[in-house]
Amino acid sequence: MTSHPRPPSASVPPAPPGRVGEARLARGAVQALPLAATSDEALARAAAAGHPGAAAVVWTRFAPLVRRLLRRTLGPGDEVEDRVQDTFLRFFRSAGELRDPALLQSYIVGIAMRVAREELRRRRLRRWLQLTPTGVLPEAAWSGVDAGARAAVARLYTLLDGVDDRARMLFVLRHIEGLELTEIAAAMDTSLATVKRHLARASQRILAAAQRDPELAAYLEAPGGESAARLGGGA
């Protein structure tokens, strides 16, 4: 059984004096309610207030989502867990900057996407400097996945390596992860119209290329189709 890292320890400054009452309410919300009943809004306020139990609750609730997003955006690899840790460390450093606590999930997804973009840039730099192999995915990442799916996923990430970071992330968030357009706009801190425009271009380019690839044609049939999500599930 694969063991996942423990949540990173959070060092969050206490709430300003003018928000003491709000901080107490946030702390009380987390203490009084079981994990399943604690709202994202109450949890975000508790994290911003430096509640000692907030870190573990945030990790338990959102680490699976962040891990899946990063794995599907970056592809299989040993660095995914490091990037998960990085995402939550950044969140706890900036929790007090979240303008709307009800958008906690979108805020964390946005941080994860920025972490992913930075990792993609580092990969390109390492390839240019010839410090790492060409990006062939390690065999260990494919345990339990049939050969056809392995080939298709490898081809998908080769294709995604050829598009810009924004197109790659939009495609993954929409067609593989299945997020709503409004969720993507909130996560990427941009307008819904901008998301629609860039997503349409990215989808057309990526899916057209996939349809021309014999390894991918059977998996990527149409924008938003289940086959795209099925292929991403192998990553």
Instruction: Please identify which residue in the block is written with the tokens 């840039």.
Output: 121
d(CA 51, CA 127): 42
What are the backbone dihedrals phi and psi of residue 179, each rounded to the nearest 5 degrees, phi first? -70, 150
Distance of CA 22 to the CA centre of its chain: 30
pTM, to two decimals: 0.58
Distances (CA, A) of 80 to 116, 140, 148, 187, 233: 9, 14, 23, 19, 15
Residues of the chain with confidence (pLDDT) below 50: 1, 11-27, 30, 32-33, 35-36, 128-142, 221-226, 230
Contacts of residue 159, defined as CB under 8 A and 6 or more positions apart, other chains included, come to 206, 209, 210, 213, 216
Q: Following DSSP, what letter does each residue of 71-121 receive, concatenated?
A: HHHH-S-TTHHHHHHHHHHHHHHHGGG-S-GGGHHHHHHHHHHHHHHHHHH
Q: Hey, what are 79's tokens?
A: 């660095």
Q: Hey, what are 97's tokens?
A: 């900057």
Exposure on the CB side of residue 120, measured as CA atoms within 13 A: 24
Q: Please, where are the H alpha helices in the chain?
A: 20-32, 40-48, 54-74, 80-94, 104-128, 147-160, 165-171, 181-187, 192-211, 226-232
* CB-based contact 117:86 (threshold 8 Å): no
Q: What is the pLDDT of residue 8?
A: 61
